[in-house]
Amino acid sequence: MDLAHRDGLSRKGQTVRLEIKLLILVMLIGLTAGCYSGTVRPVVNEPEFQAQNQPIRTLNVLVITDGSFKEQEIRRLIAECSRIVETQVGIRFKVVDSQQIQWDDEHNDASRMLARMAKETWQRNDSFDVAIGFAYFDEGRTIGRIDGVFWRYMVVKELEPNLLLHEIFHAFLPGKDHTTDWLMQPVRPSYGREWYWLTPEERKEVLKNKWRDFNVVPAVGVDKRGTTKESGFHYLIGLDQWRRGKPREALASFEKSVEADPEFAPAAINLAWLLATSEVKELRDGKKATELALKACELTEWKSPEYLEVLAASYARAGDFGQAVKWQEKALGGIKGSNPVGKTRAWERLRLYRSGKPWPSK
C-alpha cells in the first residue's frame, strides 16, 4: 500500500472518529436536556433568559445556629445555593451576620422554632431579609420548614442543597401549593440528587416577587392585602401561643395584631374563632367574635368557607342560631371534597346549631 493511500485512510478514520465523538456529544446534550425536561435548566445560558435575571438582587441572610453544624460548612452550602439561585432568577445571597440560639422545649417542633427565631431577631429585623436556622430537630418526616406569615424565617435539619433551595424559593412563592415534580415537590425524591431547578411557571412567579419587602406580610390566599410587620409579628406569635395551649396569651397577641391593622383578615378571623370556641369559658365573647368575623368575611369577599364557619360559630356563641345555621350551611357548600375530616366536623357543628347549641357546648 502506497503512503498516499495509507494517509488517506488515516484521515478518513480520523473523520469518522470525530463524527462519532460529535454524535456522542449531541446525544449527551440531548439526554441532559431530557433529564431536566419541564425545568428552566436547559435554557439558563440563553441570552434572553439571562437578561430577564437582571438586575441582580442581593438577599441579606441571617444565619441562626445552635452548634449542630460547623459555620464553615453552612457558609459553603449557602455559597453553593447562591450560585444556583442566581443562575435561575438573579438573586445572590449575602450572609450579613450569624446568631446563636439554644433551643428549649421547642427543639423538636419546627413551627415553634420559627416563632422563637422571630422573637429572638425582632429587634434587628430591618438588617436582614431572611433568617435561616441550621439545627437538628426530630419532627417525624419533616426536614425543613418556613413560617407561613412573613415567609422569611426557615429552618433546615440537613446541609443539603435541595432542602435549602426548596425553603428559600418558598420565600418567593408565598402561599403557593407544592408541585408534583422537581424542586418544589413536598417530599424529597428517593432517586437522583440535583433536583435544584424551577419550572418556567415557578420562575415567572419568583421573578414577579423578586423585590418583595420581607418586613411586611405578603398577601396570601383569600387575604388580598397582607399587613404591616407589627401586625404580622403579633399574629405569628399568637399562632405559636395557641398551638402551645396558651389561649390567654394568644388572645392578647391577636388583639395586638388587630389593633395594629384592623384590616388584616387572618388575625381578625383567628381572634373571632378563639372568642367563639375557646375552652376557657371566661374568654368567650360571642358579640365581639361576630363583629370580627363579619369584618374578616367582608375583607375576603365572603369567599372562604373556613371564614364562614367562624362566622357561624360566632353567631352560635352569641345565641343567634338562625344565622349560625345559615352560614354553616353556606360554609359546607364550599368545603372541598378532599377534606372529609373537616366536612364531618362541620356537619357535627351544624347539627348542634340546629338543636340550639353552640360549639363547644360545654
Q: What is the pLDDT of residue 123?
A: 94
Residues 6+ apart with CB under 8 A from 129: 59, 60, 61, 152, 214
Q: Is the pTM of this model over 0.95?
A: no
Q: What is the pLDDT of residue 319?
A: 97
The one-letter code for the residue type at 301 is: E
Rounded distance between C-alpha atoms, residue 246 and residue 226, angstroms: 25
Q: What are phi and psi of 89, to 5 degrees?
A: -135, 5
Q: What angle do CA 286, 290, 291 make, to 5 degrees?
A: 120
Residues of the chain where predicted confidence (pLDDT) is lower than 70: 1-34, 189-193, 337-338
Count CB-CB contacts under 10 A for residue 98: 15
Residues pairing with 176 in the sheet: none
Beta 153-156 vs 144-146: how paired, if at all? antiparallel
Unique residue bearing C-alpha cell 441571617: 62
C-alpha separations of 207 from 56, 90, 148, 196, 362 in Å: 11, 9, 20, 17, 51
For residue 266, which of 230, 229, 297 has the smallest C-alpha distance? 297
Q: What is the pLDDT of residue 188?
A: 73
Q: What is the pLDDT of residue 15?
A: 55
Q: What is the pLDDT of residue 26?
A: 44
Q: What is the pLDDT of residue 186?
A: 82
Q: What is the pLDDT of residue 5?
A: 44
